[in-house]
Amino acid sequence: MPPIAPGAYPPPVVKNLMFELKEDQLTLFWPAPAVRSEKESPAVGFKVLRARQTASEAECRTCRLRYQVAGEVRLAGQDPSARLQFQDRLEPGYKYRYKIISYSVDGLESRESDSLDPTD
């Protein structure tokens, strides 16, 4: 087999996704994931995925959550060691879940982060 080129693998998965909630203003924050080997691609940006459900939809145990891209955070111009953050306004009467996907300059995407439920 030929050798694997540097940056041939997707960027690392976002870990330690946290939040702060002040009234209806949600701030997600996380550290930029460090590349663990030369084969991994460094992340240049992050897609914030959001699932929003009404209270009755949230009670359904067999219903799948539908995540949609709520926004993006780019690393360009930011200190890679700084905490990254994304803000969203929550509407009353809904339950929310969030995940983050990192992506490389070549469009390679990481696996989804663990989900975060700020409305529980």
Tell whether domain 18-103 is in CATH 1.10.10.
Answer: no
Q: Tell me: the pLDDT tens digits for 56-77?
A: 888 888 888 899 999 999 987 7
Token pair in block for residue 23: 């009234």
Report the C-alpha gap between 84 and 82 in whole angstroms.
6
**Which amino acid does the sequence have at 17?**
L
Average per-residue pLDDT in the chain? 89
Contact 99, 117 (CB under 8 A): no
**Looking up tokens 């994931």, which residue turns up?**
33
Whole-prediction pTM: 0.87
Domain ranges of the chain: 18-103
